[in-house]
Amino acid sequence: MVFLLLKFSRAQRDEIWDLHLQSFTCMLPYLLRYDHYNYGQWGPVYVADMKTLPDVVQDEFHKGNFVVKRSERKFNQVDPDQAQEWLNGTGKRAGGIVGITNSRSALNRWVLSFNLRSHIAADTHAMFHVHPKDIHSHNEAKPGRQHRDNADECSNRCIAKHYHKRPCNREDTGILT
């Protein structure tokens, strides 16, 4: 089951439509076994519908246009449901939708202005030459983490020498400097 979930995740993240359908189809018996009856009932309908889509839609899905991508980074595509949840989460953060849902007019103003506020934020980033990919970097790509990984590798090499094992050469390991 874990392998199926990994395949399904890879299909989403790498935009592979055939792998998405194949892994979802293989998950159907497990969904029933673990009491996910709605997925078990409607999953086969979904698969049948997806296999009978018009050719134009199939072509777009084969190009990867069945997932949502928030940035130009690799392996970050998510299905539309998760993208919608991200939007819902954005609305619930500070200054968002929480606390104004009792007032229909306030809620309508927030919903109607969300798109405009997003464009203003993007324009502000562009005006100051600050891009989200400049701000956020993966923790494992930072120099501190690379230094710690190199130190751990040296420690492992010392332990290997202690036990008379042949340690790897520095060139073999691809140590980042």
Please check the confidence at residue 177 and state whether its pLDDT lies above 70. no
Backbone dihedral angles phi then psi of residue 128, each to the nearest 5 degrees: -95, 10
**Which pair of tokens denotes residue 53?**
């889509």
Mean pLDDT (whole number) for 72-84: 76
Q: Mean pLDDT across the stretch 145-163? A: 80
User: pTM of the prediction?
Assistant: 0.54
pLDDT confidence tier of residue 55, bands split at 50, 70 and 90: very high
pLDDT at position 57: 93
**49 exposure class (CB count in 10 Å sphere: 0-12, 13-18, 19+):** exposed
For the four alpha carbons of 104, 107, 112 and 113, in that order, the dihedral sign comes to positive
Residue 164: predicted pLDDT: 59
End-to-end Cα spacing for the chain:
39
